[in-house]
Structure 1
């Protein structure tokens, strides 16, 4: 090849090395630049005889000093850091908003309950009542402000998502364009397009700031870029741009999709890491959780304070109204039921979501879906963990309701069908919707609507408490209809008297006419009282009902020694109030001529059944012919002999009955008005009267319906059977075959719930009475006000298996957001350290070291000069040879 050519190859190699070194130095601060190096090797030597003579050097390539593994690690670490950094930057705003005292709800709540406490100490104060109204308004304003700030943060996040997607699409387009340039360059040359490769790697790294990506290089040199879930972003020279779309349920939330061959595919679930993942996590988790939990606290406060306030009466004696907006206002209820934009046409489905029990409801959202195959098959999934909450088949289409976790989903109308999806959002908007409903201080209902009293003539030691309100409103179909007990303004309908018929039994009577109390409808009589303990007097379950024996011969006077009642079969059906499951129990048989006491013993063996009985007989017109033996009256086997000098009258008969120990054991008592004896058995034994003596002796026996039978001696009898009242627990129904005429085939079950409860303690005496009436003097009464104040410390919001107060529930939200903020801060710092380590490792391998490059300049300059010297020597030799031949 010659010495000149050898020198030339050296010069070429040195020049390339100098150029590459200069290129490295000038790009030392270029983002993403990869240090280059000239890769060279010896040319193929030539063989001359037995010698191999070198042919100089050749340039193999200008190589990038590049490590693919480290580059992939940088992509992963970059995505991780930017995800934490973005989420942290956003959540810090929420953390400050919720936790700082200037914006927290806790101070306003405390001020409001303090004002209620002051008012309870002086219920008639108009100035304090005004203060309470102002503090209620402050609570409303703070809830509204917090919600508005969170919604503002939501709008900011939407803009950030849209801007980020715009940048992502620019990068995706740039990567595809660079693929094309690289293919064009490398397709016409064996050299690598190093600078273009650097630009493409830098674009991919910038893309990893927005999301985690997976990069696969093709044999052609192009790279394909995929989301972590596998969706294409770049395939060769084709970019797939992302789109920001509205969530199918909520336009205020953004989703991300990609258009593939005209089909829009949602990719939220495939996006992990990076700015977009941080923004989506903040939108879908932090903001949703904050708005939902804030709304749950707002609903709990409004619902429970409204409920308590509506159990009292105001200064004018009117039942209290709503303090806050009704949580089940129809507009609010319908806003919680959101149809998917993907549901089939027509768009005619109407539904709403009402709050049944704010103390057990969660802050979760739910997906209500019609799963098929039929149009009535449904399933409810919790959004937070995708678990199934409830599922089933709608029994009769719509309208219908499905109850779970303290709420009721009410399908009103429309063509609900398989494939339909609905978002159930019980609490999301509550903090923005809460408002003050009450407008005047005198409308604050601090007093209880009932007052109790004791007869000053009572001789026992029993005492009645002041009573408590259970609920003034009917539960079904809504809670806006007052119970009949309280439906008359300024009155109790009816006022009642509790009359003890013995030391251990009592009747509750309608006291509308105090001169003549009568049975309630339905009757509540023959109730058992236990001396020495606290006895609740009224049924306290709204679902309790009472059925009476209604047959034509029930309690009627009949000749003979049996009551004449027929045999009858009863069926009890239980419908579980929670699950709706129906259970039909085995038939209960009542034998013929069973006493009311027998019936009670049989019925009380059934779960949820509490039966009581009473037998009543009236005796009058006692006739003694005085011709022979004295008048003998046999009552339930006990003979009463009435002879001179005794006077044959009602007082004498009643006295002998009450003095008879065996009759007392049968719980039989007698009462005389001077002309008539009323005989009562409070356990429902049959009452049988037999007249002995002579043929002229007789007694008139009268039943409660005023039917009279004259029993003439000797040896004739009359019997009156007892009546039975059957109290049924919530969900229990009783039917009869009506064979014996005891109960109607489908007996009417009448509600026994009075809406209030009183308790009596101590030892009453027979004929002691107590009263319950409307609280007409309520100006200084604070009993319902105390109930409102007690809500501050009530553990009335269920969370993670325990109860929290209003303040604790809000503080729990602040604590959870604070913990998430701290966790993100720690993770962000750790991710940043890892990313910096990866970047440092890359720089140590692929970065430009100016000291090293400066040394290389000297080295390659010397190499260049040396090669030039080789050429000069070759030239001198050549010149010498030419000169020799001249």
Structure 2
């Protein structure tokens, strides 16, 4: 009977829907799971059968609810958050170290010039002269401590960059493998929802590490490229990123795809990789260069003034600082208290003309990278202030990026996430649909039995 056939198709459709709903409910807490639903279509009556209402219902497909635009928004937000978060800890550490009283060059300069002012009262006093050497040594040590912190951060950034590149390569390979599986499954008309969810999760993890441009190809696979256009994944082929150390201590990022080789600018790569490059290029190295330049120019200018004076024995002045020829590092010269050339007149130890010239260096203008012309006394404080501003901007931007990411996730969940209340309603409705169709089958059976009884 036709009604039995119709009811069987309805019961089968309801069962497919119930199976799909159970899958959704079981994955309500699974990260990145996209809900599914059945696509139903009425089966038309056979041609020429004018008394038939139709032939039941057909399940055309199991549909995966996914919004490409919302996925892209979520990945872009993930990349921005990853970029800002990558430098957050480095900012905090450097800001704390440079602002600490124990390593601050400003505090060291204050103590050094305080010692010079103290000895100006009695230029021939050996204890006061020795205090000047002690404070000069302490200033050099502060500079060394800062340089060590810079070196440690540079090494950490390099190690983290290498680790991130390894993760990017692994995730790219996994996306390429999933592309291959999706294409093969779709060719066999299989349900690829699970594969698509897994691929989206891998792309989301990849987006945290590097900014990605994602496009969908005709066979269902996804092509991924970097902001500059360099291919990262095309079909079942993944590129290989590598980090190459350079002679100046920096690192060069290269990408190999098939027979093509690209040199990348990591500060524009986005994600964690871009955040590391941006911090190193625009914050860490400029601060390192500025501190070295400040100390180098201070040492040079101090040595120049001392060279024009005379010590307690009437000898020509000797340098207080030594400047490394290769790295520009400043160290203390092996100078005794008697050899400090504070006098401007040979044979007159009590004269402090040259000492006053040393004290005046503090207010002289010096050209420091990223600051321009600024006095020796103010230069370091301005460097710390500049760092603090950049750190606060990073912190504020990171909070904004987190909010944008949360909003993007919320928008994704509204389209693709499992809603427990909605699924509960669907469960009841399709249960009723199944029971109603089974009732139709039962009624059809009773009618058939009655027909047989009449005959």
Provide TM-score, normalisation by structure 1: 0.50
Q: Name whichever structure is richer in strand by fraction.
A: 1
- Counterparts of 2:261 and 2:319, CA distance in 1: 48
- Counterparts of 1:802 and 1:183, CA distance in 2: 59
SS of 1:147's partner is: helix
- Counterparts of 1:270 and 1:443, CA distance in 2: 50
SS of 2:365's partner is: coil
Structure number with the bigger relative contact order (C-alpha 8 A, sep ≥ 6) is: 2
1:231–1:270 CA contact under 8 A, matched in 2? no
Alignment correspondent of 2:277? 280
- Structure 1 residue 91 displacement after superposition: 1.5
- Counterparts of 1:807 and 1:278, CA distance in 2: 32
- Counterparts of 2:253 and 2:372, CA distance in 1: 38
- Counterparts of 1:865 and 1:133, CA distance in 2: 96
- Structure 1 residue 255 displacement after superposition: 2.5
2:411 is the counterpart of 1:841? yes
Alignment correspondent of 1:785? 355
- Structure 1 residue 800 displacement after superposition: 7.5
- Counterparts of 2:377 and 2:143, CA distance in 1: 13
SS of 1:95's partner is: helix
Alignment correspondent of 1:54? 54
Alignment correspondent of 2:337? 441
2:96 is the counterpart of 1:200? no
Alignment correspondent of 1:219? 218
With over 3 angstroms needed to count, the CA separation of the structure-2 counterparts of 1:200 and 1:801, relative to structure 1, is: closer
Query: Which segment is superposed worse, 873-882 or 859-868?
Result: 873-882
1:797–1:809 CA contact under 8 A, matched in 2? no
- Structure 1 residue 72 displacement after superposition: 0.9
Alignment of 1:334-373 (within 5 A): 335=326
- Structure 1 residue 160 displacement after superposition: 1.1
Alignment of 1:269-668 (within 5 A): 271-325=268-322, 327=323, 332=325, 335=326, 429-430=327-328, 433-449=329-345
Alignment correspondent of 1:533? none
- Structure 1 residue 292 displacement after superposition: 0.5
SS of 2:331's partner is: coil
- Counterparts of 1:270 and 1:814, CA distance in 2: 23
- Counterparts of 1:437 and 1:815, CA distance in 2: 31
With over 3 angstroms needed to count, the CA separation of the structure-2 counterparts of 1:799 and 1:155, relative to structure 1, is: closer
**Which residue, 427, 430, 441 being the options, matches 1:857?**
427
2:78 is the counterpart of 1:81? no
- Counterparts of 2:372 and 2:64, CA distance in 1: 62
Alignment correspondent of 1:803? 373
- Structure 1 residue 262 displacement after superposition: 5.2
Larger Cα Rg: Structure 1 or Structure 2? 1
- Structure 1 residue 264 displacement after superposition: 4.1
Deviations 1:288-313 (A, max 9, x none): 11101111111111111111111101
2:290–2:368 CA contact under 8 A, matched in 1? no
Alignment correspondent of 2:173? 173
SS of 1:230's partner is: coil
**Which residue, 252, 257, 267 being the options, matches 2:254?**
257
1:211–1:271 CA contact under 8 A, matched in 2? no
- Structure 1 residue 245 displacement after superposition: 1.4
1:227–1:270 CA contact under 8 A, matched in 2? no
- Counterparts of 2:260 and 2:136, CA distance in 1: 52
SS of 1:121's partner is: coil
Deviations 1:3-57 (A, max 9, x none): 2211111111111111111111111111111111111110122355544421111
Query: Which segment is superposed worse, 103-112 or 139-148?
Result: 103-112
- Counterparts of 1:48 and 1:261, CA distance in 2: 60
- Counterparts of 1:828 and 1:64, CA distance in 2: 33
Alignment of 1:704-715 (within 5 A): none
1:259–1:265 CA contact under 8 A, matched in 2? yes
With over 3 angstroms needed to count, the CA separation of the structure-2 counterparts of 1:320 and 1:239, relative to structure 1, is: same
Q: Name whichever structure is richer in helix by fraction.
A: 2
- Counterparts of 1:855 and 1:185, CA distance in 2: 32
Deviations 1:191-214 (A, max 9, x none): 440110111111111111011111
Deviations 1:259-307 (A, max 9, x none): 2345542112584321110011112221111101111111111111111
1:228–1:270 CA contact under 8 A, matched in 2? no
Alignment correspondent of 2:144? 144
2:399 is the counterpart of 1:829? yes
Deviations 1:656-708 (A, max 9, x none): xxxxxxxxxxxxxxxxxxxxxxxxxxxxxxxxxxxxxxxxxxxxxxxxxxxxx
Number of residues of Structure 1 aligned to a counterpart in Structure 2 = 455
1:3–1:874 CA contact under 8 A, matched in 2? yes
Alignment correspondent of 2:451? 881
Deviations 1:202-245 (A, max 9, x none): 11111110111111111111111101111111110011121121
1:253–1:283 CA contact under 8 A, matched in 2? no
2:242 is the counterpart of 1:239? no
- Structure 1 residue 779 displacement after superposition: 1.2
With over 3 angstroms needed to count, the CA separation of the structure-2 counterparts of 1:304 and 1:193, relative to structure 1, is: same
SS of 1:209's partner is: helix
1:245–1:256 CA contact under 8 A, matched in 2? yes
- Counterparts of 1:66 and 1:32, CA distance in 2: 11
SS of 1:796's partner is: strand
Alignment correspondent of 2:184? 184
- Counterparts of 1:209 and 1:12, CA distance in 2: 43
2:40 is the counterpart of 1:45? no
1:47–1:53 CA contact under 8 A, matched in 2? no
1:46–1:53 CA contact under 8 A, matched in 2? no
Deviations 1:712-750 (A, max 9, x none): xxxxxxxxxxxxxxxxxxxxxxxxxxxxxxxxxxxxxxx
Alignment correspondent of 1:730? none
- Structure 1 residue 84 displacement after superposition: 1.3
2:29 is the counterpart of 1:32? no
- Counterparts of 1:46 and 1:266, CA distance in 2: 64
Provide TM-score, normalisation by structure 2: 0.96
- Counterparts of 1:801 and 1:144, CA distance in 2: 22
- Counterparts of 1:798 and 1:271, CA distance in 2: 26
SS of 1:5's partner is: helix
SS of 1:255's partner is: strand
